[in-house]
Amino acid sequence: MVQNAIVYCVDVETYLDSDGDGTGDLHGVTQRIDYLAEIGVNCLWLMPFYPSPREDNGYDISDLYGVDARYGDHGDFVELVRIAHDRGIRVIVDLIINHTSDKHPWFRKARASKDNRYRDFYVWRADTPPDTSDQTMFPDVEDGIWTHDEKTGEWYLHHFLSSQPDLNTANPAVRDQIAKTMGFWLQLGVDGFRVDAVPFALNQNTLQGIDEHDFDEPHSYLRSLRGFLERRSSGNGAAILLGEVNLPHEEQATFFGGEQGDQLTMQFDFFTNQRIFLSLARNSAEPLAEALRNRPKDVGMEAQYANFLRNHDELALDLLEEDERAEILEAFAPEEEMRFAGEGIRRRLPPMLDGDPRKLRMIYSLLFALPGTPVLFYGQEIGMGENLEVPGREAVRTPMQWSDEKNAGFSTCKPSQLPRQIPDGPYAPDHVNAAAARRDHESLLHHITRLAKRYRESPELGWGDYEIIDQPHESVLVHRTAWEDRSVVLMHNLGPEPVIVPLALESEEPGTYLVDLLSEHSCQLDGERGAEIPLDGYGYRWLRIKSENDPHLV
């Protein structure tokens, strides 16, 4: 599955309101399954729909087995999974193994006394902690990762909000509960999990002072989750673990499990993502090329990197040097209100790129051309913008813009009942909506649909090995992917000036052709001189290498 997947992330609350109460729901997502199938999506990722106080967009869960009544019930969920499967779309859901809400029954009992069985479900300390202001994920609202609990007089650990206490993943009882949660949702038909904040669940702070449990080394926990997943999903197709691991490549690779491949099935490639934006800021392909050259490849036969441009959080820049972060912020978030905690970017892609259709078409071509699996966040396919008047990360989580009708076609409710306000200006529904994009065959929606079709017709992009091809233009990235007897050369110009790219593939025999998969034009490749390929400013080409007797169709 993972080698030819196209993943689409949906926030149920803001996707489609089917009953007019102002809140998106599971039935609304079900009504749009055919829309996703038309695009070419074959894996739907549902962000948390569980009961929650929603202080962190639902990632503060108060019931791991439940469905928030605002979104529907278990019957609605099962119906969504069934309809998606009928259309060839698999469904994955968020699995939060690092923390719960402070409203979860476990934590309510844990803070009631020091000697109840749930106390050890979380991480406590009796001594006053040192300054940890540099470790919190929410530096704008939290001054550290420990909070004092007045009732028991001790401090509890939380890497995120103080309303999200960290679970003690060294405790076998906690691990059993997480496994039971996985088993429950697998029984309801899900095809895997997007695992939230993986390194924090294995962080040494989480394991601090816990000597009584046999926890040989942190990655044993991931192995146990993967083993449980494979046992429970056998016979129904391989279920996956897609991990959020925001670490440099060498550290990230350990979360796949090495040659055994016995931990995460897929991981978001945060390092390459951040280098993409450094390349865009500089109009230079070199930062991205360097990231791809150094990306570990020996990560197991079934492992896969997941590529993305923007997600449901801020654009994180923490894996870059300080001066590199400053370059990106100056280029794409020059105003303070565009930034999250002064360090990330809380904008969607089109406004960051000044709405330039050339840049947008090129960057989405690059997303689908990169080695790995492309991931889309809802609304990206139509070019939605953010609403900076909405606080924090939720600026990019505004309602899906289905039409230019009331409330962007998202809901029939009063505008005051919307979960978040829809943006005004050039990215308002009058200018950006799915209905208009479906009618316009030159729209970003149709462009991404064509890219998805070619991606799925080109197995070498997901399955093949790749190499960076040297050429003289700093703004151009050229890489080649090959699988069995198939090969594609991908070319992207990250600069505004047109160029002619010399392409010499000396191993090719006379009678070899380059066929552009996006335009179906072709040219002959001379065995000695190669070919000269024109690229417009922010241009791109997908070139299939074919011989006269090649049985593969374009």
Q: What is the pLDDT of residues 447-460, one digit of tens each?
A: 999 999 999 999 99
Lowest mean pLDDT among 16-25, 167-176, 249-258, 500-509: 500-509
Calculate the average pLDDT of the chain: 92
Between 234 and 243, the more confident residue is 243
**What number of CA atoms fall less than 13 Å from residue 29's CA on the CB side?**
31
Mean pLDDT of 203-221: 59
**What pLDDT band is residue 209 in, cutting at 50, 70 and 90?**
very low
Convert the pLDDT of each residue in 291-307 to its tens digit. Answer: 999 999 888 778 899 99
- Each residue's pLDDT tens digit, 83-125: 999 999 999 999 999 999 999 999 999 999 999 999 999 999 9
> What DSSP character marks residue 63?
-
Catalytically active residues, by annotation: 196, 244
Any idea what DSSP says for residue 343?
A: T
Average pLDDT over residues 343-354: 96
| Mean pLDDT confidence for 195-210 | 72
**Beta-sheet pairing, 465-468 with 476-483:** antiparallel
* H helix or E strand, kind and range, residue 92: strand 90-96
| Residue 177 scores a pLDDT above 50 | yes
Q: How many CB atoms lie within 10 A of CB 468?
A: 15
Q: What percent of the chain has pLDDT over 90?
A: 81
Q: Give the phi and the psi of residue 229 in degrees, each rounded to 5.
A: -60, -45
Specify the range with the lowest mean pLDDT, choosing from 170-174, 243-247, 255-259, 536-540: 255-259
The tens digit of pLDDT for each residue in 111-168 reads 999 999 999 999 999 999 999 999 998 888 999 999 999 999 999 999 999 999 999 9
What is the mean pLDDT of the segment spanning 368-391? 97
In the sheet that 465-468 helps form, which strands lie side by side, from edge to edge?
A: 465-468, 476-483, 486-493, 540-547, 512-516, 522-525
**Residue 504 vs residues 5, 93, 157, 460, 516: alpha-carbon distances, Å:** 31, 45, 57, 20, 16
Task: Say which residue, 532 or 280, is predicted with more confidence.
Answer: 280
pLDDT at 351 over 60: yes
373-377 and 512-516 beta bridge pairing = unpaired
Q: What's the Cα-to-Cα distance from 179 to each of 201, 257, 542, rounded to whole Å?
A: 14, 19, 43
CA–CA gap between residue 517 and residue 455 (Å, rounded): 10
Contact 49, 10 (CB under 8 A): no
Which pLDDT does position 1 carry in this prediction?
59
pLDDT at 520: 63
SS3 assignment, position 28:
helix
As a whole number, mean pLDDT of residues 45-56 equals 97
Lowest average pLDDT, out of 154-158, 317-321, 528-532, goes to 528-532
Q: Which residues have C-beta within 8 Å of that of residue 127, sequence separation ≥ 6? A: none
105-157 folds as Oligo-1,6-glucosidase; domain 2 (3.90.400)
Q: What pLDDT, on a 0 to 100 scale, did the predictor assign at position 545?
A: 85
Q: Which CATH architecture has domain 465-547?
A: Sandwich (2.60)
> pLDDT tens across 421-440, in order?
999 999 999 999 999 999 99
Among 470, 480, 471, smallest CA distance to 542 is for: 480
Distance CA 97, CA 201 (A): 6
Band of residue 343 on the pLDDT scale cut at 50, 70, 90:
confident
Q: What is the DSSP letter of 373?
A: E
Residue ranges of domains in the chain: 105-157, 465-547
Integer-rounded Cα radius of gyration of the chain: 24
Q: Is 80 exceeded by the pLDDT of residue 379?
A: yes
If pLDDT is split at 50, 70 and 90, which confidence band does 462 have? confident
Say if CB 83 and CB 91 are below 8 A apart: no
Of 232-246, 406-420, 498-512, which one has max mean pLDDT? 406-420
pLDDT at 45: 98
Contacts of 9 (CB under 8 A, 6+ apart): 45, 47, 311, 312, 375, 376, 377, 378
In this prediction, residue 512 carries a pLDDT of 73
Instruction: Provide the edge-to-edge strand list for the sheet that holds 154-157.
Output: 124-125, 154-157, 146-149
pTM, rounded to two decimals: 0.95
Are 62 and 102 a contacting pair, CB within 8 Å? no
